[in-house]
């Protein structure tokens, strides 16, 4: 490929989904030893793949021992500031109504804003909670840190489109277990399992609402956990369903063994990557005018799809066809 070819990002910027350049896996850990191991694994896989293929979210909500919230928050700051160059490190703070929420934001955002890729806000019920979180962030730092929010109740699902529309929100995650529990026994416990969460209509409806809300506003829908972490086949099947059937572009991991199956499930197939590379390089030669490829007409509407597919391949650590690799060189990334 010659340097004269125009980079896709310069001509396809109006493609919705520009915010969806996040790693497909968000790995959570809250115990100190596991947080340190997660960051070490992230650094090792950055060396392996040449890019950061998953986020590490350091957990203050479920990870902080009761009564030691401030100490735990300071540990998160230490770990975030000590992370490897190029690492993507986030923090989950307490919910906005929790007594330690503002202290979490003051300590973590105040001490590590430059290193954080985002802050996760759990138990968000409405836009008002997002506004409170944004105000707390602004009090703690003048740096802009994206907010990710966790929707965990049927009332919050009803507000998903309004929440996704808020400019501070970059991603919405679905909290499966709290969502099921919020129904007072009307949804069986089986709906919290790997298979059952894709079968109960109310759970599937909630997942679809969140995904639709995110895509309507160019935000990232992040799929919930699979608690059967010793069953990689079940995890892989869930990740594929979330990606291929429900429109999710990201998923939580709660055990290191879940990271690679998530990467594989969210990665495009090799033949899809090859086709995308061929179509886009042919389009670039024609200065992004419409082309015929394999007897099918393509123009910027389909170019956007294939460019996003190549981005996802890069995010999941796949080796890209040599002709498109210059588009992903550090100096070329937009």
C-alpha to C-alpha distance for 280 and 12, rounded to whole angstroms: 11
Long-range interactions of 34-41: CB distance < 8 A, separation 24+: 35/63, 35/75, 35/76, 35/79, 36/79, 37/256, 38/256, 39/79, 39/82, 39/83, 39/84, 39/87, 39/89, 41/256, 41/259
Confidence of residue 333 (pLDDT cuts 50, 70, 90): low
Tokens of 101: 């929420």
Confidence of residue 331 (pLDDT cuts 50, 70, 90): low
pLDDT number for residue 64: 81
pLDDT number for residue 282: 94
C-alpha to C-alpha distance for 240 and 50, rounded to whole angstroms: 24
CATH of region 14-264, choose from 3.40.50.2300, 3.20.20.70, 3.20.20.60, 3.30.390.50: 3.20.20.60
Higher pLDDT, 242 or 14: 242
Dihedrals phi, psi of 57, to nearest 5 degrees:
-105, 115
pLDDT number for residue 5: 63
pLDDT digits (tens, 9 = 90+) for 175-227: 999 999 999 999 999 999 999 999 999 999 999 999 999 999 999 999 999 98
pLDDT digits (tens, 9 = 90+) for 57-70: 999 998 888 889 99
Kindly state the helix (H) or strand (E) to which residue 120 belongs, with its residue range.
strand 116-121
Confidence of residue 21 (pLDDT cuts 50, 70, 90): confident
**Where in the sequence of the chain do the CATH 3.20.20.60 domains occur?**
14-264
Q: Does 36 have pLDDT greater than 60?
A: yes
- Where residue 88 falls (left for φ over 0; alpha for ψ -120 to 50; beta otherwise) is beta
pLDDT digits (tens, 9 = 90+) for 219-266: 999 999 998 888 888 999 999 999 999 999 999 999 999 999 999 999
């Amino acid at each position: 490929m010659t340097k004269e070819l125009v980079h896709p990002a310069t001509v396809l910027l109006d493609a919705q989904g520009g915010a969806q350049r996040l790693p497909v896996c968000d790995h959570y850990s809250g115990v100190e030893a596991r947080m340190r191991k997660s960051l070490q694994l992230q650094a090792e896989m950055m060396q392996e793949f040449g890019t950061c293929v998953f986020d590490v979210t350091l957990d203050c909500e479920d990870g902080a021992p009761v009564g030691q919230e401030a100490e735990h928050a300071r540990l998160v700051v230490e770990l975030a500031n000590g992370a490897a160059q190029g690492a993507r490190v986030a923090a989950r703070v307490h919910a906005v109504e929790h007594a330690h929420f503002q202290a979490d934001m003051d300590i973590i955002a105040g001490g590590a804003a430059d290193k954080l890729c985002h802050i996760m806000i759990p138990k968000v019920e409405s836009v008002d909670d997002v506004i409170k979180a944004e105000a707390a962030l602004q009090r703690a730092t003048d740096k802009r840190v994206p907010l990710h929010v966790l929707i965990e109740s049927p009332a919050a699902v009803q507000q998903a489109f309004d929440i996704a529309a808020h400019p501070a929100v970059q991603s919405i995650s679905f909290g499966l277990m709290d969502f099921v529990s919020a129904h007072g026994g009307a949804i069986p416990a089986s709906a919290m399992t790997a298979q059952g969460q894709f079968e109960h209509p109310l759970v599937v409806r909630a997942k679809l609402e969140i995904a639709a809300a995110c895509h309507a506003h160019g935000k990232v829908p992040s799929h919930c956990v699979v608690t059967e972490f010793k069953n990689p086949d079940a995890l892989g099947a869930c990740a594929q369903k979330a990606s291929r059937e429900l429109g999710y572009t990201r998923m939580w991991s709660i055990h290191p063994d879940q990271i690679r199956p998530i990467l594989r499930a969210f990665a495009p197939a090799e033949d899809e990557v090859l086709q995308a590379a061929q179509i886009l390089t042919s389009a670039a030669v024609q200065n992004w005018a419409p082309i015929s490829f394999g007897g099918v007409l393509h123009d910027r509407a389909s170019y956007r799809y294939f460019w996003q597919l190549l981005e996802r391949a890069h995010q999941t650590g796949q080796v890209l066809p040599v002709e498109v690799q210059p588009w992903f060189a550090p100096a070329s990334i937009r």
